[in-house]
Amino acid sequence: MRKKIVAGNWKMNLSSSDSIELFEGIQREAEPISGVDLVVFPGFLSLSLLVERSGILVLGAQNAYPGHSGAFTGEVSLAQLKDLGINHLIIGHSERRMLFHETNAFVHEKVTAALDLGFTIFFCCGEPLDIRSANQEGDYVLEQLKSGLWHLNETQMAQVVIAYEPVWAIGTGQTATIEQAESMHAFIRNQLKIHFGPEVADQTSILYGGSCNPSNAKELFACPNVDGGLIGGAALNKDSFIQIAQSF
């Protein structure tokens, strides 16, 4: 049975003290919640402050450089994160792809390096507005899957969580319907089945990375192929994050 996961991506938000307050608040409220894995991805500067406070709430990093060490000014390596005790990592987020021009080839390199070091990766995929408008979303997402994951074996895929981001519906004024979310999740799972077989497809958690919030989480999580959410803005509030986690 595949895992139900609610993950919070805090992005470039919160001071160190605010991060501690939010982390500890969520962790207190999360104690009665069962059957759902809870993960948060704070900013780099807060990771070392939170790692010793983690318990039911798992810590992850929003980004990493695939090289072990070297002259890469401003980057944080996978080995440094591992040394800190971080074992979860977001790779291929739409903001990294679009704002920082991370290519499919670079995402592939990150995936390989992270899995080699034993990370659990949250692999993001999704199409922008022009692709959705041209009805090419399937081809676009499939190419991301092929370049980022198709070189892996079944054992490695057990360390992969997929997050679908409808980039066209984030900050554009467009809204993804429940039906559109489920349709793409079903498409992704079918592609996993075609390439890896039914066991991998059935065991891989696929999260919704759109505008998931307390008002739509229950309906989203009721979809057969939606196994949770990668939450943005709503993850910055303790009560809304907990309400989403309670929506299964």
Question: Would you say residue 103 has pLDDT above 70?
Answer: yes
Cα 206 off chain centre by:
9
Give phi and psi for 124, each to the nearest 5.
-95, 140
Q: What is the pLDDT of residue 194?
A: 98
Span 222-242, pLDDT tens digits = 999 999 999 999 999 999 999
Handedness of CA 134, 138, 228, 163 (dihedral sign): negative
Q: Tell me: pLDDT of 184 over 90.
A: yes
As given in the structure block, the two tokens for residue 187 are 């498409």
Per domain, the residue ranges of the chain are 5-245
Residue from 95, 102, 127, 165 carrying the catalytic annotation: 165
Mean pLDDT in residue range 146-172: 94
Residue among 60, 76, 57 nearest 68 (CA)? 76
Give CA torsion, residues 114, 116, 118, 120, to 10 deg: 40
With a cut of 70, say whether residue 173 has pLDDT above it: no
Residue 151 has pLDDT above 70, yes or no: yes
Is 174 a residue whose pLDDT tops 80? Answer: no
Q: Which DSSP state fits 65?
A: B
- Contacts of residue 101, defined as CB under 8 A and 6 or more positions apart, other chains included, come to none
Angle, vertex CA 48, rays to CA 44 and CA 49, nearest 5 = 110
Rounded CA separation 151/140 (Å): 18
Compute the average pLDDT of residues 32-58. Answer: 96
From 88, 93, 108, 185, the catalytic residue: 93
Looking at residue 215, its pLDDT comes to 94
Q: How many whole angstroms from its chain centre is CA 106? A: 17
Which pLDDT does position 169 carry in this prediction? Answer: 85
Among candidates 21, 105, 29, 99, which has minimal Cα distance to 62?
Answer: 99
pLDDT at position 68: 87
State how far the Cα of 145 lies from the Cα of 152, in Å rounded to an integer.
Answer: 11
Determine the pLDDT at residue 225: 98
pLDDT band at 26 (very low <50, low <70, confident <90, very high): very high
Distance CA 199, CA 238 (A): 35
95 classed as catalytic: no
Look at residue 176 in the predicted model and tell me its pLDDT. 86
Q: In the structure encoding, which two tokens stand for residue 133, read together?
A: 């408008």
185 given a catalytic annotation: no
Contacts of range 98-103, beta carbons closer than 8 Å, 24 or more positions apart: 98/128, 98/167
Query: In this structure, are residues 88 and 115 in contact, taking their beta carbons and an 8 Å threshold?
Result: no
144, pLDDT greater than 90: yes
Amino acid at 63: N
CATH number of 5-245: 3.20.20.70
Q: Which tens digits make up the pLDDT trace of 67-97? A: 889 999 999 999 999 999 999 999 999 999 9
- 3-class DSSP state for residue 185? helix
Token reading at 46: 């807060």
The Cα 9–Cα 21 span in angstroms is: 16
Q: Share the mean pLDDT of the chain.
A: 96
pLDDT of residue 166: 95
Contact by Cβ (8 Å): 235, 241: yes
